[in-house]
Amino acid sequence: MTDLPITPDYDAWPIDVALEAVSFSPRLLTVHWQDGRVSRYHSIWLRENAADDTTINPATRERILDLSSLPAWPEIAGAEIDAAGALCVTFAPEDRRLRFHPGWLRANDYDQPRDKAADPEAPLVPVTTWLGGPDGGPDTLDASGLLETAPGSEAEEAMLAPALESVLGKGLVRLRHLPTEPGSLADIAGRIGPVRPTNFGQLFDVKAKPDPDSNAYTSIALPPHVDLPTREYHPGLQMLHCLENSVEGGQAVMLDGFAIAEALRDHHPEAFATLTRVRWRFANTAKTTDYVWHEPMIRLDARGELLEVRIADFLRGPLDAAFEDIEPAYEALMTLQRLLRDPAFAIRFTYAPGDLVIFDNRRLLHARDAFEGQSGHRWLQGCYMERDEIRSRYRMVQRARRRRRMTEEA
């Protein structure tokens, strides 16, 4: 199958089912697959998604075609399946013959009824909400040797893939037995993607310190919260890497914000509706910065699925909402706060040096018990990243797996 055309991307597209027959009208092409499926493609969609050098730059796979520059609406003047199994289409009025990879065509068949799993907006890994309790804990993986693997290697992929799946599906994973040298978090994070710097720096140190600019940099307890809800787009991922921990107390607490939101939707629908509608003020007016943003505490996507939670009591400014919304908003808030105190939602664990917790900062709520600052040392290093980075890395892992599978089958 080496004679098959390139695709308008760098992905690998297995040919699980071959093309069998093709028919067309000027603006519509119909293909029959060997398993009986029938798929239809519009002529203009095919023309824009060709992979020749008049449509994309073959070096970057980015489109260079401007459809409006064509002399007329692209229509189909001829179509056939060639000896390599590719679909060949001749377009008028250009009189241009273009080839399409059958595996790519099948994967991008927009003519089929979509179940939830096939929805192009569906998550890469099914989202699974979870409860806590005394026996709960994060998915935990041995990551010893991660930094010794070659970037992009199959060994690195074998270690990263289950961690990525846990974060994408459950919002949380704990990696153990990583190095404890200060700054090593930057190398670990780089195996996934670029770090998002903030006013706290590229990496930030979570430990009690004089003159703190955040409650996190004290020894007091922290209530369940997401970080940086004061930003227009608060970070999608957070990593916390334990370098030292010999204090009394200071247990980490994690809650699935999506599970709490679903409990609200099921048992307190009015509170849920209010928290998806009323925009709260989130503010971090520190000595040297002044971040403010207004957003609901619970956001849904276009399909009505949970997209993010934005909860942090200590970073809420005065509520600035319609007069008639003030009391309902506070009633909904207190309903939420009572759920946040319910131990059934929380998991608790103690950081050991070399532990790294990666979690979805727009889904997971994290908290901390108070600790005795004179009893030892507690030092975490943290950084932020976007959800896009972990999704991209997971797609790259899947792409590599498909390429290996195709090579093995060849």
Residues 170-195 have pLDDT tens digits of 999 999 999 999 999 999 999 999 99
- pLDDT tens string 21-35: 999 999 999 999 999
Domain boundaries 19-112, corresponding CATH code: 3.30.2020.30
**Which tokens in the block code for residue 84?**
């390599």
Q: What is the mean pLDDT of residues 360-381?
A: 88
In 3D, which of 380, 344, 383 has the Cα closest to residue 361? Answer: 383
Average pLDDT of the chain, as a whole number: 93
Q: What is the mean pLDDT of residues 72-100?
A: 97
So where are the chain's domains?
A: 19-112, 140-395
For residue 117, the model assigns a pLDDT of: 44
In 3D, which of 171, 170, 168, 177 has the Cα closest to residue 142? Answer: 177
How far is Cα 40 from Cα 96, in angstroms, rounded to an integer? 20
- pLDDT tens string 236-272: 999 999 999 988 888 999 999 999 999 999 999 999 9
Q: How far is CA 97 from CA 49, 60, 76, 90, 349, in A?
A: 13, 22, 10, 4, 62
Question: Is the pLDDT assigned to residue 58 strictly greater than 70?
Answer: yes
Enter the pTM of the model.
Answer: 0.89
For residue 119, the model assigns a pLDDT of: 63
Q: What is the mean pLDDT of residues 328-333?
A: 98
Q: What is the mean pLDDT of residues 1-15?
A: 88
For residue 261, the model assigns a pLDDT of: 98
Question: Is the pLDDT assigned to residue 113 strictly greater than 80?
Answer: yes
Q: What is the mean pLDDT of residues 288-302?
A: 95
Domain 140-395 superfamily per CATH: Clavaminate synthase-like (3.60.130.10)
- pLDDT tens string 231-245: 999 999 999 999 999
How far is Cα 217 from Cα 202, in angstroms, rounded to an integer? 16
